[in-house]
Structure 1
Amino acid sequence: MSALSGLREVIVEAQTRLLEAAVSAGAPRFIPSDFAIDFTTLPPGSNRNLDLRREFKERVDRAPIAATSIMNGAFADMLTGVAPIILFKRRRILYWQDADQRMDFTTKDDVAAYTAAAALDPSTPRILRIAGDQVSARELAALMTDITGERFRLFRAGGLGLLGVLIKVARTVAPQPDEIYPPWQGMQYMYNMYSGLGAFRSLDNGRYPELRWTNARDVLTRH
């Protein structure tokens, strides 16, 4: 089971060494560090970090070992201010293009519990998709209004075309190729999420019925 994070030397090269070691040791299965939105549905070149996971997936699929990837959307702590989605001080929910586009969020603890269950499962499919919650910007505005008692409004930053231009400008002005999450990379994730291309069409949450899921209300209420 890999939980590595990094750029090509980590996601592709270091994980390849782990994969080879797993094969040599006779391990029955390998779980790569694919904890993200669904990069299998994204066009190549739309997200540098996820392109690296796609490249490593090709190596895993050629290896003589069973593999299971667990995709969980975005980590739910993005909702608490890590990403510019909920602007708490301004009481706004920022979104791009479509306020009704749902996005997948899962807490790290829920991902860990599910991954542990999958690791002990003798037969799992190649990909498992999970989400603690699927919420849109409009739903987040209503949720935050209900939790805080103060009205949260929607704030449309622009369309996806504008966001795409801003990504190109940011990458040109401040490329930061050795950083895992330079500003333009975070913007690529926003583009993928608000376009709906990285969203899950179905979920495997019910595979382990003993698990309990933390939804967006739980996360934001605690925050």
Structure 2
Amino acid sequence: MPTTVAIAGLTGKFAQCIARSLQAYPDVYIRGYCRSPEKLPHSLLLARNVEVIKGEFDDRAAARLFVKGANVVICCYFGSPEVMVRGQKVLIDACEELNVPRYIAGDFAVDYTNIPANAIFPKDSARIIREYLLATKETVAGVHILTGGLMETFWSEFFGCWDRTTRSISFWGTGEETWDLTTYETAAAYTAAVALDKSAVGVLRFRGDRKTILEIKGCFDDVYTAPLNLVNRGSIEELHATVLDSFRKSPSDVMSWAPKCFAYWCVQPETQLGDTLDNDRYESVQATDLRTFFLSHAVDELHRADQELGYRN
């Protein structure tokens, strides 16, 4: 019998990376969910064993149609708190009603399970949804995949660290703080493997590489034979104070505080992935390290590496 993997938010780059990873497995049927199927690349729509259901994030009837008969549901939503919380609850309720055994939540972040409940965290929806699954659901089991920071995002304009005009990285701290970094495609490959592993439930941790800013510079200098300039913005404590100040001034202006807030949690020891990972659970997946990532991207294209993912028309 084919395994049906239902992916919510199929127009997103990460969702499409997961779909591509799933295409490598035999007897997998992919059912996507999104509000604008016309935005999907033709190459995805024409791919074998792919069906797309149209619906809004809060459309309970469409959600039930989407999850019906699925072996596992993966949430790849990216949006407002309403989408990330209410939208996921709609999916989870549909899974519970229609006996879908597992739900892979829209996490893919640092180890938020160790962040205090009253602390500011850009993906607070992850904590809310994990608690919702644990507290209210009996049939559907929650699956939470933690990957640290996404490597492409680290170099994107969104994150605000990399300045391609000066070839410099802005950072907070000493430069010796460790970062967990995983590419989209590595995270997607592990997610696909987890989706097809019926025994995979609870929290799983996967990492592509672990580097300090100083080690990132060393790797960059070696691969690109050009120096990466480092710009120290202050201490970790000053970073936290900056985040708090921005949040208090304008909590609804997420872009004013979220990137720095995520950077803060990336370097906190308690929220890092640690040494006990689940990489070895799926030997067929080869994790991409930072050096390999650099070798596959021209230096002037690093800032748009996250835009080159997924399917193309």
Q: Can you give the 5+ residue segments of structure 1 that lack an aligned partner in the other structure?
A: none
Higher relative contact order (CA 8 A, sep 6+): 1
- Quick one: distance in 2 between partners of 1:172 and 1:98? 26
Match of 1:31 in 2: 104
- Residue identity (%): 25
Query: Match for 1:149 among 225, 230, 241?
Result: 225
* Equivalent residue, structure 2, for 1:17: 90
Letter in 1 for 2:226: E
2:153 paired with 1:78: yes
The reply on whether 1:90 has 2:153 as its aligned counterpart is no
Are the counterparts in 1 of residues 204 and 278 from structure 2 also a CA contact under 8 Å?
Answer: yes
| Regions of 4+ moved over 4 Å | none
Could you tell me which amino acid in structure 2 is paired with residue 205 of structure 1? N
Distance change in 2, residues 1:98/1:40 (3 Å): farther
One-letter identity of the residue aligned with 1:189: F
**Cα pair 1:45 1:51 within 8 Å, conserved:** no
Letter of the 1:127 partner, please give it.
Answer: V
Match of 1:124 in 2: 200
Which protein is bigger by CA-based radius of gyration? Answer: 2
Provide the aligned C-alpha RMSD in A: 1.9
Q: TM-score, normalised by structure 1?
A: 0.90
Gaps of 5+ in 2: 1-73, 303-313
Residue equivalent to 2:113: 40
Alignment of 1:160 with 2:236, yes or no, is yes
Q: Which amino acid aligns with 2:154?
A: L
Q: Deviations over 1:26-85 (max 9, x none)?
A: 111111111111111122343343222101111111211222111111111123333233
Q: What is the aligned counterpart of 2:264 among 166, 171, 191? A: 191
1:130 Cα deviation (Å)? 0.7
Contact 1:80 1:220 in 2 (8 A): no
Question: Partners of 2:269 and 2:163 in 1: how far apart?
Answer: 22
In structure 2, C-alpha distance between the alignment counterparts of 1:33 and 1:190, rounded to whole Å:
19
> Residue 121 of structure 1 aligns to a residue in which SS?
coil
Contact kept, 8 Å, 1:7 with 1:49, in 2: the verdict is no
| 1:160–1:195 CA contact under 8 A, matched in 2 | no
| Contact preservation (8 Å) 2:130, 2:142 | no
Matching residue of 1:7: 80
Q: Does 2:188 align with 1:112?
A: yes
Q: Measure, in 2, the Cα distance between the counterparts of 1:84 and 1:143.
A: 20
Match of 1:214 among 266, 288, 299: 288
Distance in structure 2 (CA, Å) of the matches to 1:160 and 1:90: 23
Shift of 1:184: 0.6
Distance 1:144-1:212 versus aligned 2 partners, 3 A rule = same
> Which one-letter code corresponds to 2:156 in the other structure?
G
Give the TM-score of the pair, scaled to structure 2: 0.65
**Is the Cα–Cα contact under 8 Å of residues 171 and 232 in structure 2 kept in the other structure?**
yes
Report the AA paired with residue 106 of structure 2: S
User: In structure 1, what residue type is equivalent to 2:291?
Assistant: R
**Is this contact kept in 1: 2:122–2:262, CA < 8 A?**
no
CA distance in structure 2 between the partners assigned to 1:116 and 1:152 by the alignment: 34
CA displacement at 1:21 relative to structure 2:
0.5
Q: CA deviation at 1:98?
A: 3.1
Amino acid at match of 1:61: L
1:211 corresponds to which letter in structure 2? V
